Chain A
Amino acid sequence: MTRLDRRAFVTRSAAVLGAAALGAGADEAIDGRGASRRAQLGPAALDEQGQRAALSISVPFTGAHQAGVLTPAQAQATLVALDAIAADRLTLQEALMALGTRANQLAAGDVNPLLEIDDPPADSGILGPTNAPDGLTVTVGFGASLFDGRFGLAAQRPLHLTRMPSFPTDDLDPAQTHGDVLVQIGANQRDTVVHALRELLRATRGALAVRWTIDGFKAAQRGLSPANSVRNLFAFRDGTANPDVADAALMDRLVWVRPGSGEPAWAGGGTYQVVRIIRQHVEFWDRVGLSEQQNMIGRVRDTGAPLGGTEEFDDPRYDLDPNGARIPLDAHIRLANPRTPATADQRILRRGFNYHRGVDAAGTLDQGLVFVAFNQNPGRQFAAIQTRLAVEPMIDYITPVGGGYFFVPPGVRGPNDWAGSGLLAA
């Protein structure tokens, strides 16, 4: 399928829409110069214009690291865990190549080729004759099971990659846990994600089979400023203490696997991805008094400020509250991140999504968090945090039911490179 560079895509969109409506494309629609034009258009037209402009945003997919890790979380996501059913290593390699190169095309923006009329179309076409990039990222990771004996990869297993353990309050369902390959698809519109999933599965048919999948969404930004974290389905701001992704030195300490460091050569620039499908018992939660909710989390629900504080990003100053008079000692934020020098290298980069997927057998909503975290070493970081959280009072209101540990290989070098080439094509 033909790749389309972003400038060409925007120009084409503009021609279709009419230059007067879209101006120079995405950039103008979101800066001040379009104000007078906006005033002439009604709100519905403006929404449409903004959405069309956003559709043309393409996230670069080449670089030292894969996209979808430090990339700000998009509004929509699907995670799909795949099992490798390929008969041999070459078939697996071809499938991962097809997966990666198709993902590159979709992330760049793509025009569907015209085939003979009696053939099935090359692309499902659900986004139309062209596939707008829409901020799409496709992030590929490998589970520990891929490094068993089947494909001769055992000697290449990343140093800290294990099967995700069952933590004491987990109730893991094998049908939504683990997997050989994890694909994390993110975009701003749901149809873009659904389309990408459909195309990527088509490209890998017969070699990779779906083990489980889950859809997630980000809460809209409703706070005072874009810096405010958005809310999870317990209504609290989530992600406040995330490390700063713009701090490259910090990312090198907390997220990226450093070349050397005992890891196989192909793994440098990669990261470990922890996925936890955490059911939140929302009806139960909604029947808990607000002060108890706030004490469980350690924050004020409306503002996100640590208890006793006024702003979301206030330092909770646990050193001044050794007995938990302000923030209980077993509050979530306190156990998760004690903010001590000893726990500084345990911090993780969270990039989770809310999920909603119907009701359970008791008629209660199956809602929760697709917890996603990236870290340099899940044993040193995620598992240390999770072990501390085993005693938090919030455990009554949540049940981790699935997920897994995955290794996200380093980034791709060009449109024909693909995630995992360093492992399989080496």
Chain B
Amino acid sequence: MPTSTVDRHRPGRRLLPVCAGLLSAVAGFFALTALGAGGAAGTARAPAAAPARALTPLQAYSQQAATREGLGNIAGARPVQELVPVAPAEFDRPIAESRAYAQARLRAMAKDVDRLIGALAAGSRSRSEQLWLTAYGTYLRLGGVYGEFGQLDTAIDGTPGGLARGTANPDFTGLHRIEFGLWTGRAPDGLLPAAVALAGNIRRLEKVVPTVAITPLAYATRAHEILEDAQRDFLSGADVPWSGEGVFATAAAVAATEEVLTTLRPLLDGRGSTIEQVDFGLTRLRAVLAEIRHAHGGGWPTLGQLSQLASERLDGALGFVLEELAGIPGELETQMPPTIPALPAPAGR
């Protein structure tokens, strides 16, 4: 697997903490042994005062296991802390850029939806499906900010999962209501009310976006969560059960992620090699998507049309980049983790 090759060639940034962690764990363990700690699991027969080297590997393991299960980290190794917080003000520009980008996208989407309304009114199913896809893709590319839209997001992009009576519930509306109607043979003009409501919500959102509150943490987290959502909701088919357009949706999520990363790049410069690994992974993921598109004559296949090999390559390339993206929020922390106050001891203990 290419994944493991890449792992082996990973630059040394992560090796250092691992070595340090190992050393302190070993040191912690020797300290414990000297104190006679652990052993509660019942296998450490060696007297407490015996030198550490007298323990068999099993005894050593048992002591460490008992310590970690019972005492956590307090007697053993402390986790390595290599964080240098980013000043929150450094996020002002990326977030402002992202809002402007989202607003432009929403303006484009309003036009997409207007065209969709026209096609639905004309009764053209194939044209309506095509325009639905365009509008959906535009919405997915909002990426960096869509987690913050709350109720409006539910009205635009909600799925029927949590609703009583599912697709029959009147609160099931928006993009997926139209998807449901188009791909299950409903009359296109019957979907007009949903499309008109959608157009209204998009214009409402366009007005809200400049003022929507986004914290640095939420924004940094979007860098990996857009594609986490793609894996959970798009490639699994969960969010696109009728159209099956999970590959298309994933490609849109890749574009949205790149948009976020572009704004964050100045902050990530000089903060370790995570971004290099992410870039490597994204390049490969884009290449896999391009191959798939090429193999299907330039269009996006539905999930059901993907061959097993293409599925595996796509899932694998996405999984790899997700493992790397998971490091981004940690690189962009704006504060040291707060110390958790100790639980007051009960009276009389």
A residues within 8 Å of B by Cβ?
A: 165-172, 222-224, 228, 281, 283-284, 287-291, 300, 302-303, 305-311, 314-317, 320-321, 325-326, 360-364, 399
Contact = CB atoms under 8 A, between A and B. Distances in A.
A303 B231 contact: no
B198 interface: no
A308 B312 contact: no
B185 interface: no
Contacts of B168: none
B92 interface: no
B318 to A, nearest CB: 8
Interface of B: 40-41, 65-66, 68-74, 79, 159, 161-164, 166, 224, 228, 231-232, 234-238, 246, 303, 311-312, 315-316, 318-319, 322-323, 325-326, 329-330, 337, 340-344, 346
A274 to B, nearest CB: 17
A224 B69 contact: yes
Contacts of B72: 300, 302-303, 305, 310
Contact of A310 (B74, B161, B235, B319): B74
A19 B297 CA distance: 74
B73 A283 contact: no
Contact of B162 (A168, A284, A289, A290): A168
Contacts of A223: 69-70
B236 A364 contact: yes
A314 B232 contact: no
A63 to B, nearest CB: 35
B228 A302 contact: no
A287 B319 CA distance: 11
B293 to A, nearest CB: 18
A302 B68 contact: yes
A362 B236 contact: yes
Given A302-B69, A303-B70, A308-B341, A166 B228 contact: no
Given A171-B161, A289-B330, A361 B343 contact: no
B340 A361 contact: no
Nearest to B333: A289
A320 B164 CA distance: 39
A326 B343 contact: yes
A360 B322 CA distance: 17
A contacts with B: majority SS? loop
Contacts of B232: 281, 284, 362, 364, 399
B257 to A, nearest CB: 14
A349 B159 CA distance: 32
A228 B65 CA distance: 14
A308 B343 contact: yes
A308 B40 contact: no
A302 B70 CA distance: 8
23 contacts: A169-B162, A172-B161, A223-B69, A223-B70, A224-B66, A228-B69, A283-B322, A287-B322, A287-B323, A289-B329, A289-B330, A303-B69, A303-B72, A307-B343, A310-B343, A360-B236, A361-B303, A361-B311, A362-B234, A362-B235, A362-B236, A363-B316, A364-B236
A134 B40 CA distance: 29
Contacts of A228: 69
A377 B326 CA distance: 42
Contacts of B163: 166
A135 B213 CA distance: 56
Contacts of B311: 361, 363
B73 A302 contact: yes
Given A283-B319, A362-B235, A308 B69 contact: no
A303 B69 CA distance: 5
B236 A315 contact: no
A320 B231 contact: no
B71 A310 contact: yes
Contacts of A321: 341
Contacts of A167: 162
B337 A291 contact: yes
B66 A308 contact: no
Contacts of B337: 291
Nearest to A314: B343
Contacts of B323: 287
Interface centre among A165, A306, A364 (most CB of B within 10 A): A364
B231 A362 contact: yes
Contacts of B164: 165-166
Contacts of A168: 162
A290 B79 CA distance: 11
Contact of B342 (A283, A308, A361): A308
Nearest to A290: B79
Contact of A171 (B41, B68, B238): B238
Contacts of B315: 362-364
B44 to A, nearest CB: 13
Given A308-B341, A310-B74, 20 more contacts: A166-B161, A171-B162, A224-B40, A224-B41, A228-B69, A300-B72, A303-B71, A305-B343, A309-B343, A310-B343, A311-B70, A315-B346, A320-B344, A362-B232, A362-B235, A362-B246, A363-B235, A363-B311, A363-B319, A364-B231
